[in-house]
Chains A and B, each alone.
Chain A
Amino acid sequence: MANGILVVLENNDGKISRIGWETLTAAQKIGSDLGIGVSAAVLGKDAKSMADSAAGKHADAIYAASNAALENYTPDGYTAALEQVIAKAAPAYIFVGHSYQARDYVAKLALRINAKIISDCIGYKVDGGSLMLTRQVFAGKFNADYSFSGNGPYIATFQAGAFSADGLQPGSAKVEEVAVDLSGTEIRTNVLDIFQGVKQEVDLSKAEVIVSAGRGLKEKDNMALVEGLAKALGGDVSGSRPVCDDGWLKIDRQIGSSGQTVSPKLYLAVGISGAIQHVVGMKNSKYIVAINKDPHAPIFEIADVAVVADLFEVVPALTKAVQEAA
């Protein structure tokens, strides 16, 4: 018997992560549109306190699945534990935030419980009682609408930032502890260490003006163009991931989900396509200017000013004009 939506609240070092709350918000909205209930689950060595922190939200139940083997996330452990929670909650839908963790185990879980899966959704529509999910395809150049078919359960994962946790409905949810038994589960991955990458030497979070370089610059030598513009504007230089991977820029100047998050007065994106992993790191900037020759570049969707042009023409001219204006 199918039973509403079950949200998996991600445990981030003993706390429910932001994407968990965002996904719960999505579930509340979709649940209400579909006329079905929402419950949530949280996993950990000791999940009770985290579950308690969600008790004040609008939901039918918060399942706390605790087990010593869940101290560190492992795909085997999480899959086995969720299998048991799901058996108990018997949801029609399972929603998970499309975090790095979810990328690691949700597909595996889907096979275990014989579920259908649509990943990395950014929006939804409910039409005639059925759920249509929107996700990005072709690296954000297009959106696509998807629906489930055949028997559930159905799993959907939601992109970070697709729903704002500000819309989370308060309420009261009963916290229910689920005894998960992992004694028969072989956990094959052995977590050795968790550590921070390169030491951040630059903190761009305070920068007022950031000129950010993308792969559109074509080669390292052209970085001088953005450096010149940043200098003229009295700002800092940052970049997209490939620009840092290729060594055109130091890795600690990378913006995005695996880099820094910034919100300057001006973010000037030069030759950056606007992949979501980049956008999450800069979309809260006060004023966004993007220079891209592709009129459909996803970066334009969040830009205040979209400059559709060849950066190699605009950037030198702009640098000159800014120098003259200053």
Chain B
Amino acid sequence: MAKKDKTDVSFMKSLFAGVIDQETIFPYPKLPQDEQENLDMILQAWNEFAKDAVDSPQIDRDKKIPKEVLQGMAELGFFGLSIPEQYGGAGLSETAYCRVFEEVCNYDASLAVTLGAHASIGTNGLLLYGTEKQKQKYLPKLASGEWIAAFALTEPGAGSDAAGIQSKAVLNDKKTHFILNGGKMWISNGSISDLWTVFAKTDVIEDGVIKEKISAFLVEAKWPGCSAGKPEDKFGIRGSDTTALNFDNVQVPVENLLGPLGKGFKVAMETLNVGRLGLAAGNVGGCKLLTQMAADYAKNRKQFGQSIAEFEIIKDKIANMAADAYAAESMVYLTSALADRHTVDYSLESAISKVFASEALWRAANEAMQIAGGNGYSTEYPFGQIVRDARINLIFEGTNEILRAFTALAGMQGPGEYLKKIGKALRDPIKGFGLLTEFAVQKVRDVVTKDTLKNIAPELKEQAERFNDFADELQSNVEKVLMKYGKEIIHHEFIQQRIANMAIDLYGMAAVISRVDSKIKDSKSVEQEMPLVQLYCDAAWRRVRREARQIENNLDKQRRQACDLIYNSKQIPFDVFHE
């Protein structure tokens, strides 16, 4: 994986500043033919294998993935999907990885989470930040599936607030080992894994002062002092192993420090950028599958003398599911191609894709269950398990709340040296405020007139115009709220959420428009997807408009009051019978 400094500015970060960086996302990316052929063969091999070997209801009932399934996947090479060939992996691009992951999800979500925790978040830290020696030592074992990996960030006291972890690694006197103590929580593959990427606080000397900063370590599960708890009994993805980890004076050799000392948080965040995209891809697969399942069920179920598929309230659901799936797919594979360029910052796009796709999946699971009526609620039908399995996606690898806040704040920090300048700006309110507003205003001045998508196929005229209008709205609202709140914006989550929601749908529209426009320019018919495009874009811009309007004109005060009311009473303070 060529790791260059990210030099190209993120599409979404530019959009926050009113700049439509069309070249970054047009034309819609396509895999080179030979990679496409490889991918098709991998999918075929997977389907042949999975059809025979994977029994999802069984995995759910047993709360365990059979050994033979994992072993079979290892033999096929699925544990080394994105590990470069020189280390025994398949060296798939992020795009191909996502597509394969999508197909794994279609068979079983527990299996997908197990694979993702290994191949994506479990391995990516090492891939991105490992030294040659570390890679040679661990990657071949991980690629072959001889070893399984896990990513250990979350702690009992630090979930969303990942920077608040308490595990601590202290360099010994001889400076040969870090002594690691602490514990982790909710670690996927916890008890079945061999190599953990562990995040812990370390002492770093900065400007002559000792500061506590997070560092990442490669920890072997077999080392003395390492232990895993017993698997959590979960609501969904029950076959995926999730445990606590405990570190009791674990001696971690200094050569197992991953990335620079004190840069562990960055390692974690970059790893999660990739991980989220894989999750989103899995969710796309789920959305497509559910849409199909719901339609099949509806076509076969008769009520009032006809198939329920003919009723328009059911059609409304199916059409929305299909349009959502189409948009989610457009977003994910646009983003994966950005990741494959290795020079573009795609952290926002990845977070947006995860939020949109996981929520689209959740809606789809809910609607599919509804369409199946009583049967949907029966364990004899698959819908219940899908609902349970789908739910986790809104929680892990960054809850959707945290990712919305991230999207808004990182977006508002503007392109450029966001980590450095703006990071400081947010921490240093007074100076920072100047910086933030200065940046935004300067950018707007640069643009002079409203930026627009250029050269879009006439079929997409309406969608493109809406996109242009609301991209402009995003920029002006960002400017407005920065002017109004300055550094205080970090405390205004009502606003953040609205800005994030605008960004999410604008990215969705951009991705869909790029996809269809590119297809038209390839002289291909887009007749069949146009209704999906129109449905999604129409719903999207209406949502964006609503969010934009509410930035100024809202009931946030009432929301705060309602919460005060609830928070301040021991019991729900209303009861119609005692008023």
Contacts and interface: CB of A to CB of B under 8 A. Distances in A.
Question: Is there any pair of Cβ atoms, one from A and one from B, under 8 angstroms apart in the complex?
Answer: yes
Interface of A: 218-221, 313
Nearest to A218: B51
B35 to A, nearest CB: 30
Contacts of A221: 55
Could you say which interface size class chain B belongs to? under 10
A219 B56 CA distance: 14
B51 A313 contact: no
Nearest to B300: A313
Nearest to B58: A221
B52 interface: yes
A220 B54 CA distance: 12
Contacts of B52: 219-220
Contacts of A220: 52
6 contacts: A218-B51, A219-B51, A219-B52, A220-B52, A221-B55, A313-B300
A29 B542 CA distance: 78
Contacts of B55: 221
Interface string B86-126: 00000000000000000000000000000000000000000
**Leading 6 A-B pairs by shortest Cβ distance:** A313-B300, A219-B51, A221-B55, A219-B52, A218-B51, A220-B52
Nearest to A313: B300
A47 B55 CA distance: 58
**Interface of B: prevailing SS:** helix
A313 B52 CA distance: 21
B258 to A, nearest CB: 42
Contacts of B51: 218-219
A219 B300 CA distance: 22
A218 B51 CA distance: 8
Contacts of A219: 51-52
Nearest to A220: B52
A219 B52 CA distance: 7
A298 B219 CA distance: 61
A101 to B, nearest CB: 35
A313 B302 CA distance: 13
A219 B51 CA distance: 7
Interface string B51-66: 1100100000000000
Contacts of B300: 313
A65 B51 CA distance: 54
Interface in B212-227: none
Interface string B32-75: 00000000000000000001100100000000000000000000
B380 to A, nearest CB: 11
A253 to B, nearest CB: 20
Contacts of A313: 300
A220 B51 CA distance: 9
Nearest to B53: A219
B152 to A, nearest CB: 36
B140 to A, nearest CB: 34
B46 to A, nearest CB: 15
Nearest to B57: A221
Contacts of A218: 51
Interface string B414-442: 00000000000000000000000000000
A48 B300 CA distance: 65
Interface string B505-523: 0000000000000000000
A68 B546 CA distance: 96
A318 B567 CA distance: 57
A313 B299 CA distance: 11
Interface string B314-339: 00000000000000000000000000
A175 to B, nearest CB: 56
Nearest to A219: B51
B66 to A, nearest CB: 14
A185 B90 CA distance: 55
B455 to A, nearest CB: 45
Nearest to B51: A219
A221 B51 CA distance: 10
A221 B52 CA distance: 9
Nearest to A221: B55
A217 to B, nearest CB: 12
A8 B52 CA distance: 45
B105 to A, nearest CB: 19
A219 B58 CA distance: 15
Interface string B297-313: 00010000000000000
Interface string B521-556: 000000000000000000000000000000000000
Nearest to A317: B300
A220 B58 CA distance: 14
Nearest to A246: B52
A312 to B, nearest CB: 9
A313 to B, nearest CB: 6
A220 B53 CA distance: 10
A313 B307 CA distance: 14
A76 B300 CA distance: 59
B69 to A, nearest CB: 14
B295 to A, nearest CB: 13
A219 B55 CA distance: 11
A219 B50 CA distance: 11
A164 to B, nearest CB: 41
A219 B53 CA distance: 10
A218 B50 CA distance: 12
B375 to A, nearest CB: 12
B22 to A, nearest CB: 45
A104 B192 CA distance: 54
A220 to B, nearest CB: 8
B309 to A, nearest CB: 13
Interface in B276-306: 300
B72 to A, nearest CB: 15
A177 B503 CA distance: 94
A50 B51 CA distance: 52
A221 B55 CA distance: 9
Nearest to B299: A313
A313 B300 CA distance: 8
A202 to B, nearest CB: 25
A207 to B, nearest CB: 29
A225 to B, nearest CB: 13
A220 B55 CA distance: 11
B308 to A, nearest CB: 14
B53 to A, nearest CB: 10
A221 B58 CA distance: 11
A42 B339 CA distance: 74
A313 B297 CA distance: 10
A147 to B, nearest CB: 40
Interface string B189-215: 000000000000000000000000000
B394 to A, nearest CB: 31
A213 to B, nearest CB: 16
A119 B55 CA distance: 44
A193 to B, nearest CB: 34
A169 to B, nearest CB: 52
B94 to A, nearest CB: 31
A313 B296 CA distance: 10
A245 to B, nearest CB: 13
A82 to B, nearest CB: 44
A221 to B, nearest CB: 7
B160 to A, nearest CB: 41
A234 B52 CA distance: 29
A270 B64 CA distance: 33
Nearest to B55: A221
A246 to B, nearest CB: 9
